[in-house]
Amino acid sequence: MRRISRARRAAFRAVAAIAGAIGVSAGAWALAEEPAAGVPNAYVINVSDITAKVGEPAVMRVTLKIRDGYRILKSYNNRVSALSSYDEGVVFEHKVERAKVEDDTLVFSVSLRATKPGKHPINGLFRVGYIRDPGEMAMVSVPLIANVTGAE
């Protein structure tokens, strides 16, 4: 079994702390009505934990719905990256997954494979853009935190 470096554990804890600061809970979650300091309130995020058969491909669907008063910055490279598994129980098919725009929602399909049975915490980082009238445009980072359960 490969050991997890201190830096990787520290990074995972930092993402978890950020998630806690913006009101993230296990399972499906969304940005709180009032954002934490410096965190935009442009998107409502919906992600659910999934179960995947060990060794078989699976897809986790994650959506970021734009709130009223905002518009998706469609010309930006909206993506999720830095995907990792805390205990290396999940591997990702791609280093970066790009969003598809459906109505007022960014849709991410994260291709993955569970490598061993049990519950495995995963994380990643969304980089998304938004426009808020009149003339405010921003690109922001938002954490992805979920669990993949490997089933035999």
The distance in angstroms from the start CA to the end CA of the chain is 20
Binned at pLDDT 50, 70 and 90, residue 125 comes out as very high
Is residue 1 in a domain? no
Is residue 127 in a domain? yes
Peptide bond just before 40 cis, omega within 30 deg: no
Contact 99, 128 (CB under 8 A): yes
Identity of the amino acid at 47: V
Tokens of 87: 């205990």
Is residue 75 in a domain? yes
CATH number (domain holding residue 52): 2.60.40.10
Is residue 82 in a domain? yes
Is residue 18 in a domain? yes
Is the entire prediction scored with pTM above 0.85?
Answer: no
Is residue 50 in a domain? yes
Q: Cα dist. 15→79, 84, 136, 142 in Å?
A: 17, 11, 26, 9
Q: What mean pLDDT is predicted for residues 121-137?
A: 91
Is residue 124 in a domain? yes
Is residue 99 in a domain? yes
Structural domains in the chain (count): 1
Binned at pLDDT 50, 70 and 90, residue 134 comes out as confident
How far from the centroid of its chain's Cα atoms is residue 18's Cα? 12
- Quote the CA–CA distance of 75 and 100 in Å, as a whole number: 12
**pLDDT tens digit string along 39-91?**
458 999 999 999 999 999 999 999 999 999 899 999 999 999 999 999 999 99
Range of the domain at 24: 6-151
